[in-house]
Amino acid sequence: MAVLTVGVAIQRNLFSVVVLSGIYSFLMATVLVALDAVDVAMTEASVGAGVSTVLLLGALYLCGGEEAKPLHRPWPPLLIALVIVGALVYGTLGLPAFSDPQAPIHVVVAPRYLQQALQETGVPNVVTAVLASYRGFDTLGEVTVVFTAGAGVIALLRRRRRREPPGEAR
């Protein structure tokens, strides 16, 4: 995946960039399955590699497919990126090691959900139970976000029905 992101940064033909990002999403979905996150992997595969790629291709058709040669030198952003890498790596050294059973997220809240979900909701898929029942308000907010995005796209891309010859300035 690291190779893919470097490819995305360097490639100038936008069509190949879109294909690379689709491959990246599929690889990310595979990694998520390896991390036991099956719902997330299914969503990432269908949304990231499916819908995103279609939307990007649609936008590319409407916008043109080549990126211009970069005018600025790449050194200032590269320097900033390296500084951020250093700061973040220093920060992550304080985080718990991978799959540590004593990490706070495994001890405090999750066991309660894992033990009680079947009796309280009757649904074996704990992720669905938490999403739809225990944290139902958040899902309501998320559906509203999706709705707002749809409304926003409609508002931005709708054509007015005006009686004017095509190609005339608006």
- Contact between 59 and other proteins (CB under 8 A)? yes
Residue 3 touches other proteins, criterion: CB under 8 A: no
For 10-35, give the DSSP string.
H--BHHHHHHHHHHHHHHHHHHHHHT
Does 16 help bind other proteins (rule: CB under 8 A)? Answer: no
Give me 47's structure tokens: 């949304």
133 part of the interface to other proteins, by CB under 8 A: yes
Interface residue with other proteins, options 19, 23, 30, 81 (CB under 8 A): 81
Q: Any residues with CB less than 8 A from the CB of 97 and at least 6 apart, and which? A: none
| Contact flag: residue 51 with other proteins (CB under 8 A) | yes
Identity of the residue, 94 or 163, whose beta carbon is nearer to other proteins in the bound complex: 94
DSSP 8-state symbol, 74:
S
Position among 19, 26, 102, 129 found at the interface with other proteins (CB under 8 A): 129
**Residue linked to tokens 């973040």:** 88
Q: Is 94 helix (H, G, I), strand (E, B) or coil?
A: coil
Indicate whether 19 belongs to the interface with other proteins (CB under 8 A): no
